[in-house]
Amino acid sequence: MNPPADEAPPYLVPHSQEAIRLLYRDSHLLIVDKPSLLLSVPGRHPKNYDCLLARLGRRYPGVSAVHRLDLDTSGVMIVPRRREALSHLARQFQERQVDKIYVARVAGHVSGETGEVDLPLTADWPNRPKQKVCGDFGKAALTKWRVLSRDAQSSLLELKPVTGRSHQLRIHMKEMGHPILGCDFYAPASVLSAAPRLLLHATQIRFHHPVSGHRLTARSPPPALFQCD
C-alpha cells in the first residue's frame, strides 16, 4: 500500500519501506497493520512527512488519527474515515472501552506467570520526549502482563495496558527490571543491541463499530523475530 515513488516529495526518504497491511475496510473506518519505523502521523520536520496517515490518505482521502503507535512499534491501528466515526471512536478510547493487547520480548526471566505494574507517569521535561515515573504529579498508569514463553536470556510477554500513557509499556517493563529488547529510550546499551528493532507489537484491538455498534476484533501476529530461539 506504499505510494509510487513519483508521488512522494523529492526530499522524502521514508524510515520504512515496508507496506501497510489492510486488515479491514468499510466506508467508516480502516483497520491496518502498521510496520515498525513508520510514524503514525506526520512530524514537523520535512523528513517526517512520510507516515501512516499520509500513505493512506492518497488512497483514502479524509482519514484521520484517533490513536497512535510509536515510530518503532508495529501492529494494529484503527483509522477513521469520517468525522462521525472519529468522534465516536475517540469517546471509546477516552472511556477505556477499547481493549488493546501487545506482545513484547523483554530482557531476562520474568518471575511468576502474571502480574501488573501500577506506576503513575508524567513527562520528563528536560529529556523530552521521554516520560518518567512520578508519584506526585504523574497520571495513573496500569499495565497487566502475562508470560507467554521464555528462552535463555529473555521472556515473551502479553501486555494489556488499562491506561494509554505515552511510553507506558516501555517504562513499566523497565521498572519491572525487564526492559524491552531494542528500546532506544529506556533500555541499557546491551538490551538495545539485543534486537534489530523495538520488540513491541500491537497484536490485537477490540472495540465497538461507530455505526453498527458491533464488537470488532482485529489481530496481527507478531513478526517471527519475537519468538524464542
Query: What domains lie within the chain, and their CATH numbers?
Result: 1-95 (3.30.2350.10), 98-207 (3.30.2350.10)
The Cα 100–Cα 162 span in angstroms is 8
| 70 a catalytic residue | yes
Q: Are 38 and 88 in contact (CB under 8 A)?
A: no
pTM value?
Answer: 0.91
pLDDT in tens, the chain (229 residues): 554 444 544 444 557 889 999 999 999 999 999 999 999 998 877 777 889 999 999 999 999 999 999 999 999 999 999 999 999 999 999 999 999 999 999 999 999 999 999 999 999 999 999 999 999 999 999 999 999 999 999 999 999 999 999 999 999 999 999 999 999 999 999 999 999 999 999 999 999 999 999 999 999 999 999 986 6
The Cα 207–Cα 211 span in angstroms is 12
Type of residue found at 112: G
Residue of 70, 99, 124, 151 marked active site = 70
Cell of 121: 507517569
pLDDT score for 10? 43
